[in-house]
Structure 1
Amino acid sequence: MKKVLILNGHQYYDVVAKGELTQHYIDTANDFFLKNGFEVKHTHIEKGYDVEEECQKFEWADYVLFQYPVYWMGVPWITKKYFDETFTQGRHYTSDGRSRSDESKTYGTGGLLKGKKYMLSVTYNCPTSEFDNPKGFFDGLSLDQAHIATHKTFQFCGLEPLKTYSVHDIFKGDLDLKKELEKFEAVLTENFL
């Protein structure tokens, strides 16, 4: 049976970020995985966690689905704190990968979670037009390039990326959640089945 850890990286802010949208995605993913025979574990970072238990969850999981809202071009600060506390225990990497005796071993290759995969699923207020656009806010970067720090965090521990999902213009007022959740399920199907 395939095993997936669903990480909820949402952080509550009254009025602008109560967590309902993130929860819709978490619920949809949970239903998808259970329907398709996955064993599922959850971490809702904001509700608290035990560092040792989180280390064990990463070792247990074949896959990680990381659902989070983008705050100030990155993960919410409590989520960064979670990664700092969970990944600095020395359980998910042997070293930074380099070796004094073997120059072929390069930085970032010491991860112990090799063979595991992760998917980013992000909610954004900015429009999709800001990515892959030399005149856009992100200076021509793709969505994944704009999230390089998050990708590299997982890569350092040995995980491999799956296709990223994102929803945009969430405050514009015309979000078709049903349609977006269908797109999300299509990406889950592509990545996990």
Structure 2
Amino acid sequence: MKNVLIINGHQYYEHVAEGKLTQFYIDTATEFFHKEGYAIKHSVVESDYNIKEEVEKFAWADIILFQFPTYWMGVPWLAKKYIDEIFSAGKDTATYVSDGRTRSDVTKRYGSGGLMQGKTYMLSITYNCPTSEFSNKEGFFEGLSLDEANVATHKTFQFCGAEPLKTFSVHDIFKGDLDLAKEKVRFHTHLEKTFK
């Protein structure tokens, strides 16, 4: 049995971002992993979490699914606070030992001191912008792919030794025509391809 930690990276803003879509994807993932026999734990960045308990969840997890909305081109600030607190508190026990370099072995590279080798992570992101803005030199992101536009979040996990799984994203969420039934099928298909 594999262990999966699902992180709710949402931060509430009345009328703008109330968290229903993030919860929809978390519920869909929870349903999928439960059916497949995974052990599941949840974390919520907008909560009174216990740092020690959160670090223990990272040590326990084989897979981390990070579900979050994009706010101003990055993770919500409470999600960043959670990352800073938990990843830092996990030093020497769950996340990393050092940046990897050492004076005694110059072949050791920066970013090789993580403790999360053998673990994988998946980003699942909700966006207002359309998919056409990525991997498009004329687009807002000037040719960057979806993953390149989220490089800081990817590199945080990779610094600790975790390997990326294929990113999932949903776009144009404020247009008013998001078909949640179709989205559930699309997300479920992505989960099946990634985890079965």
Tell me if TM exceeds 0.5. Answer: yes
Opposite residue 77 of structure 1, the aligned amino acid is: W
Name stretches of at least 5 consecutive residues in structure 2 with no aligned partner.
none
The answer for the alignment partner of 2:24 in structure 1 is 24
* Aligned counterpart in structure 1 of residue 101 of structure 2, from 84, 98, 123: 98
**2:55 pairs with 1:55:** yes
Q: Distance in 2 between matches of 1:25 and 1:77?
A: 20
CA RMSD of aligned residues (A): 0.7
The one-letter code matched in structure 1 to 2:125 is V
1:5 corresponds in structure 2 to 5
Candidates 161, 172, 182, aligned match of 1:179: 182
Q: Distance in 2 between matches of 1:7 and 1:181?
A: 18
Cross-structure match for 2:139? 136
Quote the Cα distance in structure 1 between the aligned partners of 2:70 and 2:134.
14
Once the two structures are superposed, the pairs formed by residues 59-70 of structure 1 within 5 Å of their partners are 59-70=59-70
2:113, 2:192 → 1: CA distance?
Answer: 30
| Same amino acid, percent of matched pairs | 65
Partner Cα distance (1:126, 1:177) in 2: 17
The amino acid across from 2:57 in the alignment is K
Structure 1: how far apart are the matches of 2:101 and 2:70? 32
TM normalised by structure 2 equals: 0.97
Question: Which residue identity lines up with residue 123 of structure 1 in the other structure?
Answer: T
TM-score by length of 1: 0.98
Counterparts of 1:43-192 in structure 2, within 5 Å, are 43-89=43-89, 90=91, 91=93, 92-192=95-195
- Cα shift at 1:48: 2.2
Following superposition, the deviation at residue 182 of structure 1 comes to 1.0
Tell me how far apart the structure 1 counterparts of residues 69 and 114 of structure 2 sit (CA, whole Å).
26
Amino acid at match of 2:38: F
How far apart, in 2, do the equivalents of 1:16 and 1:44 lie? Answer: 19
Identify the range of structure 1 (135-144 vs 90-99) with the bigger mean alpha-carbon deviation: 90-99
> By how many angstroms is 1:177 displaced?
1.3
Aligned residue pairs, count:
193
For 1:146 and 1:112, locate their aligned partners in 2 and report how far apart those are by CA, in whole Å: 25
Pick which of 35-44 and 172-181 moved more.
Answer: 172-181
- Runs of 4+ aligned residues of structure 1 deviating over 2 Å after TM superposition are none
Q: Secondary structure of the equivalent of 2:7?
A: strand
Partner of 1:36: 36
**Alignment gaps of 5+ in structure 1:** none
- More displaced, 177-186 or 5-14? 177-186
